Amino acid sequence: MTPPRYDDIYKQVVELLQEYAPQPGPISEETELVNDLGFDSLKVMEMLNDVEDAFDITYPLNSLSDLKTVKDFTTQILNIIETS
């Protein structure tokens, strides 16, 4: 079952991705940041500042290696919120 706050986080993540995506397009949970939205490492770093501010979290750079889809990103943020 989807955790209760997942949907709220997902909604905010989509808004941030739409703002920063080099190749804007429709976004779903399975959308890939690099292949579908055209993110490169610099653009991801730029967005991470806003992600950290929006959720008041610290996003460890180690997590980037496991980040592929919007669902991954949302789940990572949820986990960080829950464990902090």
Question: Which one of the spans 11-19, 23-31, 40-48, 66-74 is the region binding another protein (CB under 8 A)?
Answer: 40-48
With both helix axes pointing from N to C terminus, report the angle between 41-55 and 6-20 in degrees, rounded to the nearest 10. Answer: 140
Nearest distance, CB of residue 62 and another protein, angstroms: 5
Distances (CA, A) of 6 to 2, 40, 46, 82: 7, 25, 23, 11
Examine residue 83 and tell whether it contacts another protein (CB under 8 A): no
Does 45 engage in binding with another protein (CB under 8 A)?
Answer: yes
**Does 26 engage in binding with another protein (CB under 8 A)?**
no
Q: Does 49 bind another protein (CB under 8 A)?
A: yes
Tokens 């995506």 found at: 21
Does residue 1 belong to the site contacting another protein (CB under 8 A)?
no
Cβ atoms of 22 and 43 within 8 Å: the answer is: yes
Helix orientation angle between 70-83 and 6-20, rounded to the nearest 10 degrees: 130
For another protein, the binding residues (CB under 8 A) are 41-42, 45-46, 48-49, 57-58, 60-62, 84
